[in-house]
Amino acid sequence: MNVAAVLMDILRASRVRYLFGNPGTTELPFLDALPDSGLEYIVALQEATAVAAADGYAQASGQVGLVNLHVLPGVGNGISILHNASRARSPIVVTAGQQDTRLLLDEPILSGDMVRLTEQFTKWSYELRRADEAPAAMRRAIKLALTPPTGPVFLSLPMDLMTQVVEDGAAPAPDVRAAAVADGAAIERAVTLLADAKNPLVIAGDGVARARAVPILVSIAERLGARVHGEPIYRRSVFPGDHALWRGGLFPTVPAVRKALDNADAVLIVGASMFTWFLHAPGTAIPRDLPVVQVGDDPWEVGKSHRISLGIVADVSATLRAIDAGLAERMTETQRLAAGQRFIDMRRARAALATQAREAAEADAARTPISQPYLMHTLAGLLPADAIVVDESATSLGAVLRYLPLAAPDAFFGGKTGTLGWGMGAALGVQLAYPARKVVATIGDGSVMYAPQALWTAARYKLPVTYVVPNNSSYAILKAGMLGMGLPSAKKGIYPGMDLVDPTIDYVALARALGVRAERVEKPGELRDVLATCLAHPGPSLVDVVIDRGFKAMA
């Protein structure tokens, strides 16, 4: 068989189901083997959407997300989403056709050094040099992508090598299991530090979701009576959103994290980076004498930038089970009673906060334009219990996290780097990974325009994603940022380039042109019915919701 056919056989044997991509000339010899491969080709109209869909699929399924891009410009189009996949530790394999190797010396059209372009965002980037390298390289790529710490891999496939014949069977990528548990002494020390705490705190990172370790972390938090925060810029379901101990994500600045830690006397950090910041602020996040235990499967992240008392690099789920068992044995009756009282107190406080949030949203029931709290509160009342939210709402993110339940496993996915254009395509991949669950994408109006092509792919494959667009006709989060920094222009009400007006964008017409059902809502009294109708639609839909802009538009 030729190289292309062998690679397709390896992919099928490795249980790869979808190939996301945008076809191009240099990829034609590879794609020629696709019809007999058993893989389904998910076509995107722009490479960033293809990478985002592969990223969403990989995160949601835990399987390889395979994407094929069109030589150097196509890789360039997708690189911002590859950056997100790198930070999200998504197990994706990115391939791209390369020009004929016999032409590379002459710098032919579309060619370039794709290895150098991608290697800062991958675990391994490589360009095939000979046909007989191809099978081993593909197996290695799949193995590396899936081996913790998971992450993207890149392979450049020169087009002339794809048609050469090689002798190789369809053996799958090696099934490598990395489930090491910390030694008993480390577990015992972690248990002692946590059990003796009178005000313990847990910080859960996206690695908890990747390890499918949320249930065991819930057990530990309940046993300790510990409040739980998400890491700064958490973008997965790291803890049930409706749980009494959940306190939401930490704001990504040093003072905000320090404030959250100030009254803690022991901290367990799991599957997280310490820490991802947004804006610089002086000071240190970790109090000097605070006992901190960090658990993760990536040695780079454990103790990377901040002082910890104990770092454990091991399988997250297995290590948490060992810690939970140790706590069950180690905690005294007095400690259990104190933990139970903390749980009761926090449940009461959580209920009061939930009531306040609900009342605030319902107070906006007649307000025009529609408020973000009322929009998300209304949407929450319509979603099934196992619904999945894919978010790139920017300004509305706080309302998304506050009002949508996000209680089921894998109920929430968000862009890890703030890269706009990720959410539109990622929702497609998540829906493919969970075909029986309702996927709702909360996408800011500015974000939609980074990747509107995803709507066509949703329509082409009849993926029932509902895109809810809180539309304030601006990059309102940037306006808020200017005000927060006290910049002179913002004080004068001037926000350069941040109003999406003159002309305003007709999102309904745009969506309909790409084959998607679409409706616009301007009045709060119409919101519930329109959302309900679109959520029930068997195909993709978009709801353009005019929300309070919060800022005066530029004339």
237 token code pair: 């379901």
Residue type, 539: G
What per-residue confidence (pLDDT) applies to 554?
33
Last residue in a domain, options 318, 349, 380: 349
Percent of the chain with pLDDT over 70: 99
| Cα–Cα distance for residue pair 296/294, rounded to 1 Å | 7
Q: Which residues contact 71 (CB under 8 A, 6 or more apart)?
A: 24, 26, 27, 96, 97, 98, 99, 110, 111, 112, 114
Q: Please, are residues 518 and 441 in contact by the beta-carbon 8 Å criterion?
A: no
Q: Inform me whether the pLDDT recorded for 393 exceeds 90.
A: yes
**How big is the CA angle at 403 (ends 419 and 49), to the nearest 5 degrees?**
25
Residues 230 and 328 in one domain: yes
Residue type, 10: I
User: What is the pLDDT of the chain when averaged over all its residues?
Assistant: 95
Residue 483: phi and psi, rounded to 5, are: -65, -45
Cβ neighbours around 384 below 10 Å, total: 11
Q: Using DSSP bridges, classify how beta strands 388-392 and 412-414 pair: parallel, antiparallel or unpaired.
A: parallel
Give the CATH number of the domain where residue 39 resides: 3.40.50.970
- The model's pLDDT over 473-519, given as tens digits with 9 standing for 90+, comes to 888 888 888 888 899 998 998 999 988 899 999 999 999 999 999 99
What per-residue confidence (pLDDT) applies to 555?
28
Q: Inform me whether the pLDDT recorded for 551 exceeds 80.
A: no
3-state secondary structure of 219: helix
Q: Please, are residues 265 and 197 in contact by the beta-carbon 8 Å criterion?
A: yes
Q: Please, are residues 40 and 77 in contact by the beta-carbon 8 Å criterion?
A: no
Residues 430 and 309 in one domain: no
Cβ neighbours around 507 below 10 Å, total: 23
3-state secondary structure of 154: strand
3-state secondary structure of 378: helix
Sign of CA dihedral 305, 311, 313, 315: negative
Q: How many domains are contained in the chain?
A: 3
Q: Please give the average per-residue pLDDT across 309-320, as a whole number.
A: 96
Last residue in a domain, options 325, 349, 373: 349
Residues 77 and 203 in one domain: no
Question: 199 in a domain, yes or no?
Answer: yes
15: left (phi over 0), alpha (psi -120 to 50) or beta: left
Question: 122 in a domain, yes or no?
Answer: yes
What per-residue confidence (pLDDT) applies to 278?
86
Q: Inform me whether the pLDDT recorded for 41 exceeds 90.
A: yes
| Cα–Cα distance for residue pair 200/207, rounded to 1 Å | 20
What per-residue confidence (pLDDT) applies to 552?
41
Question: 425 in a domain, yes or no?
Answer: yes
Residue type, 509: A
Q: Inform me whether the pLDDT recorded for 180 exceeds 90.
A: no
Q: Please, are residues 235 and 413 in contact by the beta-carbon 8 Å criterion?
A: yes
Q: Please give the average per-residue pLDDT across 182-189, as a whole number.
A: 94
What pTM was computed for the model?
A: 0.95
- Residue with the larger pLDDT of the pair 554 and 429: 429
- Model confidence at 174, pLDDT cuts 50, 70, 90, reads confident
- Model confidence at 550, pLDDT cuts 50, 70, 90, reads low
Residues 282 and 412 in one domain: no
Q: Using DSSP bridges, classify how beta strands 227-230 and 200-204 pair: parallel, antiparallel or unpaired.
A: parallel
Percent of the chain with pLDDT over 90: 88
What per-residue confidence (pLDDT) applies to 290?
97
What per-residue confidence (pLDDT) applies to 548?
85
| Cα–Cα distance for residue pair 9/80, rounded to 1 Å | 30
Last residue in a domain, options 293, 326, 349: 349
What per-residue confidence (pLDDT) applies to 475?
87
Question: 172 in a domain, yes or no?
Answer: no
| SS percent in the chain: helix, strand, coil, step 5 | 45, 15, 40
- Residue with the larger pLDDT of the pair 178 and 294: 294
Segments forming the whole domain that contains residue 115 = 3-163
Residues 16 and 155 in one domain: yes
Q: Please give the average per-residue pLDDT across 291-310, as a whole number.
A: 95
What per-residue confidence (pLDDT) applies to 274?
87
Q: Inform me whether the pLDDT recorded for 368 exceeds 90.
A: yes
What per-residue confidence (pLDDT) applies to 553?
36
Residue type, 269: I
Q: Please give the average per-residue pLDDT across 107-117, as a whole number.
A: 94
Residues 345 and 371 in one domain: no
348 token code pair: 């009461």
What per-residue confidence (pLDDT) applies to 484?
84
| Cα–Cα distance for residue pair 154/159, rounded to 1 Å | 16
Residues 343 and 422 in one domain: no
Q: Please, are residues 471 and 546 in contact by the beta-carbon 8 Å criterion?
A: yes
